[in-house]
Amino acid sequence: MKRISVLGPGTFSEESAHHFLGAVPHQLIPCKLIADVFQAVVSGRADLGVIPIENTLEGSVSQHLDWLVHEVDLPIQAEWVYPITMNLIGRAGPLEGIREVLSHPVALGQCREFLRARLPRAEVIPVGSTSEGARQVRERASETGLAAIGSAASAALYGLDILAGHIEDHPDNATRFVLVGPEPLVLSRPGRSKTSLLVTLPADFPGALHQVLSVFARKQVNLVRIESRPTRKRLGNYFFFIDVDSPLSAQPMPEALAELDSLGCSVRVLGSYLSHGV
Amino acid sequence: MKRISVLGPGTFSEESAHHFLGAVPHQLIPCKLIADVFQAVVSGRADLGVIPIENTLEGSVSQHLDWLVHEVDLPIQAEWVYPITMNLIGRAGPLEGIREVLSHPVALGQCREFLRARLPRAEVIPVGSTSEGARQVRERASETGLAAIGSAASAALYGLDILAGHIEDHPDNATRFVLVGPEPLVLSRPGRSKTSLLVTLPADFPGALHQVLSVFARKQVNLVRIESRPTRKRLGNYFFFIDVDSPLSAQPMPEALAELDSLGCSVRVLGSYLSHGV
């Protein structure tokens, strides 16, 4: 039984964890803050933690990355990309009666066209999370005309109905999650093997980054993501998150990493793992 | 008089706008959602809009970037980097009496050490924004033992005291904001001139990106930021946000951009502007 710490309850993080862990016996440990998700793993109360890492409305990506870099040393053991489907949830009744829609501000923004077309007179009320919106609709049981926007998981959690599904303006909205923890975990489903690197450049940005990418280009290593972030040390000093296609390995790409080292770069392997889509 | 749409009231976005606009006669138009900030500019109700673009707890950076790319065509006219200083705010009294601390989940995460050391028995309550926390503390006037974490602006807005200042765990926390709008604006303060580009690669990522960076390296153009994002069109198709040092110009770097074009890249100039620090 894997104990998995995750933002929750009623979040997309949870919903995605249930989807991808599927047949793996697991128990979710819902946490209020991302710091608590990490801390549960560090303290041993959880085996693995679920961290939204890109395009998320559950917390701040940059803060999650900063935690991975500065605060904890937990390897990435798996990654999944989960489509975010927004639902209008509440108590059954005609949409015309709805006068307040509660949700996370980003979720409200993602359903702007739906709200304008179908609920033009409803007021939008930003709250702390999509599941908090559902919770408030449940709690204010005596009031009519309330709805929330959120996950199917939050509708189920608070005993509410899905009044309309797939209400997001752009159906291609997906969030990337990584699963971090000390022990490897392999999900028995198809995946693409990747390695995530944290590369700190020795000095000037343009020349050095160009050299780093030369190493990968020469070795025909396919980059799938790159992002620069200022280090906390001083302005003008950068590190990069670089994801590349590479076979699963405890010591991935030894030659390429040795070359980067000889260029004066400091390289940390954040994980070698399988990335899964739905 | 410049009319400036901004997330608000009581946000760090607002606080930073007042700081940087300073002597420029301006009037802030507070908006609940980032979509409303953009929309106010598009509709002409505002001259410029303030968009948090990196390391922010006010909305989702990726969604803000997506708006800039897909939904609106508003050039970046200025950028500022504003240090985010967290305050414990509430009604004057000893910290020992505090049993609930309300704030945005990311702000709570950024003050974790302070909370552990100084308020170990207080419960943290995630709410929709830092100013929403202050608003609730104000509203629940008859209750004692409540505090919020947020901006000095939100304390002033809701008539609360700053019980402790600079309570964030890492003092080097700063948010990058861009000011977007159809007409140029020059703040009369020192700045670093930059150009932001959106570069879409023709095909394979590693080789093409390497060629793009070769162009900049050869022309001694200094890169200050790079970030890859999947396009909405199909998997495996990427674009890049690239910021470079370059002189202010309505048509920046014509030669480099022509070379990128000849490589088959599609390039859009998001803005040529001054970037300001505190």
B11 reaches A (C-beta below 8 A): no
Q: Of B54, B60, B232, which is closest to A172 when you measure between CB atoms?
A: B232
Q: Given an 8 Å threshold on Cβ–Cβ distance, is A222 in contact with B205?
A: yes
Q: What is the pLDDT of residue A232?
A: 59
Whether B36 maps to a domain, the answer reads: yes
| Residue B206: pLDDT band with limits 50, 70, 90 | low
Q: Residue B62's domain is classified under what CATH number?
A: 3.40.190.10
Q: Given an 8 Å threshold on Cβ–Cβ distance, is B33 in contact with A129?
A: no
Distances (CA, A) of A233 to A266, B105, B109, B245: 14, 25, 21, 21
As a whole number of angstroms, the distance between CA A85 and CA A174 comes to: 8
**B225 with B255, same domain?**
yes
Q: Residue B236 above 60 pLDDT?
A: no
Each residue of A86-111: pLDDT tens digit? 999 999 999 999 999 999 888 888 89
Q: Please state which of the ranges A20-29, A138-147, B62-71, B215-224 shows the lowest mean pLDDT.
A: B62-71
Q: Given an 8 Å threshold on Cβ–Cβ distance, is A228 in contact with B227?
A: yes
- Range B189-214 average pLDDT: 83
Q: Residue A202 above 70 pLDDT?
A: yes
Q: What is the pLDDT of residue B152?
A: 92
Whether B20 maps to a domain, the answer reads: yes
Greater model confidence, B71 or B144:
B144
Domain boundary among B121, B156, B180: B180
Q: Single out the residue of A137, A126, A143 nearest to residue A160, CA to CA.
A: A137
Q: Of B33, B220, B223, which is closest to A209 when you measure between CB atoms?
A: B223
Q: Residue A36 above 60 pLDDT?
A: yes
As a whole number of angstroms, the distance between CA A222 and CA A245 comes to: 5
Q: What is the pLDDT of residue B18?
A: 93
**A18 with A77, same domain?**
yes
Greater model confidence, A204 or B90:
B90
Q: Residue B224 above 90 pLDDT?
A: no
| Residue A74: pLDDT band with limits 50, 70, 90 | very high
Whether B187 maps to a domain, the answer reads: no
Q: Of B108, B112, B228, which is closest to A226 when you measure between CB atoms?
A: B228
> Chain-wide mean pLDDT for chain B?
89
Placement of tokens 């489907």 in the chain = A85
Spatial CB neighbours of B94, under 8 Å, sequence gap ≥ 6 = none
B224 reaches A (C-beta below 8 A): yes
**B236 with B206, same domain?**
yes
- Range A211-231 average pLDDT: 84
Q: Please state which of the ranges A192-206, B36-50, B108-122 shows the lowest mean pLDDT.
A: A192-206
Whether B35 maps to a domain, the answer reads: yes
As a whole number of angstroms, the distance between CA B276 and CA B80 comes to: 5
Q: What is the pLDDT of residue B235?
A: 45
Q: What is the pLDDT of residue B233?
A: 56
**A36 with A21, same domain?**
yes
Q: How many domains does chain A have?
A: 3
Torsion of CA A150, A148, A169, B4, to 10 degrees: -110
- Range B162-170 average pLDDT: 93
Q: What is the pLDDT of residue B232?
A: 59
Q: Is A175 a catalytic residue?
A: yes
Whether B12 maps to a domain, the answer reads: yes
As a whole number of angstroms, the distance between CA B138 and CA B154 comes to: 11
Query: What is the span of the domain harbouring residue B142?
Result: 87-164
Whether A11 maps to a domain, the answer reads: yes
B127 reaches A (C-beta below 8 A): yes
Q: Is the ipTM of this complex over 0.95?
A: no
Q: What number of C-beta contacts closer than 8 Å exist between A and B?
A: 137
**A204 with A271, same domain?**
yes
Whether A187 maps to a domain, the answer reads: no
Q: Residue A137 above 90 pLDDT?
A: yes
Q: What is the pLDDT of residue A231?
A: 66
Q: Given an 8 Å threshold on Cβ–Cβ distance, is A59 in contact with B224?
A: no
Q: Residue A59 above 50 pLDDT?
A: yes
Whether B39 maps to a domain, the answer reads: yes
As a whole number of angstroms, the distance between CA B237 and CA B251 comes to: 27
| Beta strand B146-150 pairing with B100-103 | parallel
Q: Residue A224's domain is classified under what CATH number?
A: 3.30.70.260
> Chain-wide mean pLDDT for chain A?
89
Q: Is B241 a catalytic residue?
A: no
